[in-house]
Chains A and B, each alone.
Chain A
């Protein structure tokens, strides 16, 4: 990989220890992945939650922050492993929260924007089409490449911090035109999809794309960006998907033919039967849930308004909790508009700056979790500690409230 003279200087430690470490990671990963050079980025989105980063991740972040590191571009962050404001009331053990706070402190010292959201593109990090960014968080990556039309690879933890510190990323993978062409097609024939159908469809695409970029045709014209957020998240949970050409929506993908660069590609038809298969695969239990978890990825202000309507006049039955996960920005807004109160009147709770799949569900005593998130279902059920019930939100509300 080509390095400029200045990049060579950084690599040899002339610009301080933090930059030297960041550049070493960029140079080695770039070299390993066949990048030809480093290119500037407009923003970064990084990971700093204890449940996945563990002790080693704390050491990495603190190594950067204690050696003079500073983010060179606007840098947002994925959710924490605990609600950063109300963690005590959710029963999080003190010593667990302390680990998360060490990551928060290091992130703040590096100059990050503390949005703590996995839908940061809906609250505080908006690139424009054509820009290059370096984002971790697989759902954000799919959203960026497919809907915003900017370019990012799925940046893994460690590399994310290095990109943010240098304000650059290795040029490989999804940054290159030739890798952004659809190589497999999915045709949806689902009439009036429910919330669950969008997620199951995404998951199906993730499971059947392999390492190919998928294209998707046949979505209703009125599909919302929130629905596509969940579809993309499910696809990225089911396989290594980093972009979906939504025919008629993704910039430059007016037809499957233009998405695939004129090539004929393998095509999957996805109907009720395929979605039923996904549902029975992800649905592992018929037991009464201890927890209903809504919002992996984070729900938007609009989605939470919908949830408030669903819950109107209803009360949670005993023995089941319901948490709706969102960003702190959306949380504040809902507090001011009264929607938070409407949701909580039912006995459900709104929680911010964290998310279900990265919080210690088992330690908090939850054995059966009900959700409409295929991403949560995939992550939790693959671990096997907590059983998942995978249902549409209408059915969930019907079952757990009276």
Chain B
């Protein structure tokens, strides 16, 4: 009972962080068709900026300033890089963002070094919020969940309930029309891209605290956010939410399952298949597989449903 409740909480918390990370990616994709390979690097920038700001003027200003700064960097990338490449098609844009991941990793290493930086948690977020049986639930995890939910609500409302959101949505499907109505479409794209990067930056502010702020942090989440976005359906915010929480829960529970394919065969009285071959592969337990399960799901989803759970276009 204790395990189940804790595993659900942990799964949802991790899932929401994943969502915060992948929301920006799926947004920029749905809006601009740009698959931003450097998204995880913006996440890393968010963490490092927050570290730098919080060590001078405190964590709370950093929570606001760092994502803004990342958004500015992102907007700059759109304005000076992607915009001129747009006419050459998506491959050039993809390559640009891919190259960017290396440049950004180098920048971080040159400025802050290769070692993890001591990005300290503010005292208000330290300690535990409540206790389930004997396990404590850190305040910080709850705070992370709160931010993710607020961000989701905010983005959803802006996109569907405000004038700005309407213009953005229109600019995506009918750019010429919106342009002839007097709106600056390139600027809208710049803002959207910057916003997506800013979301990654926000996730970085939190992720850097929850895990470690180090140059490899982008690399460590780079794979998983693509999995989340593809499973959810490229471009679908709802899909990203569902699939991130799903990934969080799967990872949480899979770790606890110590059964292997060989065990399954034994239960079905089919162990004569496995026994003589002595294939070690069959003895791998689900818990050992836990961290690679998301990638397994990615393959399955791509085969069974190429557009993902809620996607509208093929990946």
A-B complex is real: no
Residues of B within 8 A of A (CB): none
Residues of A within 8 A of B (CB): none
